[in-house]
Structure 1
Amino acid sequence: MFADPVEVKNDKVAPVPDYGTGFSPYFLSLGLFVGALTLSIVFPLREPVAVPSSPIAWFLSKFGVLAVVSLFQTVLVVSVMFLWTDIQVHSEPYFILFTFVSSLTYITLIQFLATVLDNPGRFIAILLLIFQLTTSAGTFPLELIPDFFQWFNPFLPMTYTVFGYKAVISTGDFSIMWQNMFVLFSYIAVFIFLTNVYFRWNFKRRFEIMAREEA
């Protein structure tokens, strides 16, 4: 009794098979954000190839390319995760869908920042990335993060990509995955709207005045 007074019983909830699987939501979110940021450097997000016919045409000429790149990122990530790392997920279709939505969220965020602010917007995106790495609770539980950073946790998109990935990879609680995905859809809608506002304002300032001068 004195040598072993207490018997410890472990009840595992959603056990993670290895270290890599436990950190995969964090690094997947990081990789998708960096991919979107890199795209903004090599692809012109502001200047059109030709004079656009309307603000929406200007926006779609840029967003269409970004959506295709989001799909390419998704295919690349899924291929690497399934073929090379042999990660085990609770639903492969949901994993693919969530990866595409996460990629599109980051791409629309960076499209908005880089389109409206150009290089300062890219710098803000880098600062956001650094800030999200601390506040997303991807490495440590949220309760272990300083109170100052906990306050920002609900407002940044990486929080929801990390929690959504944890659900589809580790816990299998798809209701949590859908909740986080709907939040990401809200981010996408807001960033698309704001980017459209910029294109509409800039179209009037640049191309409508140009058309009047030519006439």
Structure 2
Amino acid sequence: YKPRTVREWFFQKAAVFVTIAAAQGLIVIGGLIIFDGLKPNQIGMTFLVAIISALAYMLFVLMMNLFFGHIGSAVALVLLVLQLSGSAGTYPIQLSNAFFEAIHPYLPMTYTVKALRKTISLNGNPAFDLILLLIFGLVSLALMLIGMTIRRNRLVETSLVN
């Protein structure tokens, strides 16, 4: 079945990537709880943070792949590596060099780390962090839909010419 509209095309793909992202979040947090004995203060919010983060990152990687192909996947991988050092997930950002301190507020993983800290041990409200992750995901989604529309229009034009 070939989708006739961008909407059909998107929903064909969305069923797969939303399921995978939700499963990733559930498996990671569930595994930490079951196998490592993690006891989050806000268990439901911890799962929600993991699922929203996984979905936002997946949308970003799909968008990069749609626009730039394998190069987009490579760029996403480089951004992942930068985020590991710049998000203060491994050690405090104050111990990092000036480059990582400068990019820290602009990295989506910074807000995942902050939200997880709030839900796992601080009894904080992760709403602001989740909103930023949702914005990141929605911007990636919007760009992906624009890219899908452009690609579909090119395919239609090509098939009309041939």
Q: How does the TM-score come out when normalised to structure 2?
A: 0.94
- Within the alignment, does 1:102 sit opposite 2:53 as a pair? yes
Aligned-partner SS, 2:88? coil
Asked if residue 145 in structure 1 is aligned to residue 96 in structure 2, the reply is: yes
Deviation at 1:63, TM superposition (A): 2.1
Q: Given the alignment of the two structures, is residue 202 of structure 1 paired with residue 151 of structure 2, yes or no?
A: yes
CA distance in structure 1 between the partners assigned to 2:30 and 2:96 by the alignment:
33
Partner of 1:90, secondary structure, is coil
Equivalent residue letter for 2:50: T
- Cα displacement string for residues 75-111 of structure 1 (whole angstroms, at most 9, x for unaligned residues): 2123211211110111111111111101101101101
Distance of 2:61 and 2:54 partners within structure 1: 11
Aligned length: 162
1:190 counterpart residue number: 139
Cα pair 1:160 1:180 within 8 Å, conserved = yes
Whichever residue aligns with residue 201 of structure 1, its letter is I
Correspondent of 1:179 among 124, 128, 135: 128
Return the letter of the residue paired with 1:113. M
Please identify runs of 4+ aligned residues in structure 1 that moved more than 4 A. none
Residue pairs, 1:1-215, within 5 angstroms:
50-174=1-125, 177-210=126-159, 212-213=160-161
CA distance in 2, matches of 1:106, 1:98: 12
Q: Which runs of 5+ in 1 are unaligned?
A: 1-49
Amino acid at match of 2:79: L
Structure 2 unaligned segments of length 5 or more: list them. none
* Secondary structure of the corresponding residue to residue 199 of structure 1: helix
Q: Encode CA deviations 1:3-30: one digit per residue, 9 max, x unaligned.
A: xxxxxxxxxxxxxxxxxxxxxxxxxxxx
1:43-100 Cα deviation digits (max 9, x unpaired): xxxxxxx432111221222122100101111221232112111101111111111111
Contact kept? 2:87, 2:110, Cα under 8 Å: yes
User: Normalised by the size of structure 1, how large is the TM-score?
Assistant: 0.71
Question: C-alpha separation between the residues in 2 aligned to 1:124 and 1:103?
Answer: 18
2:2 is paired with a residue of what secondary structure?
coil
2-side partners of 1:55 and 1:207: how far apart?
12
Report if the CA contact (8 A) 1:56-1:200 is conserved. Answer: no
Structure showing greater Rg: 1
Please give the alpha-carbon distance, in whole angstroms, between the structure 2 residues aligned to 1:62 and 1:208.
23
Q: Tell me how far apart the structure 2 counterparts of residues 75 and 99 of structure 1 sit (CA, whole Å).
A: 7
Question: d(CA) in 2 for partners of 1:86 and 1:92?
Answer: 13
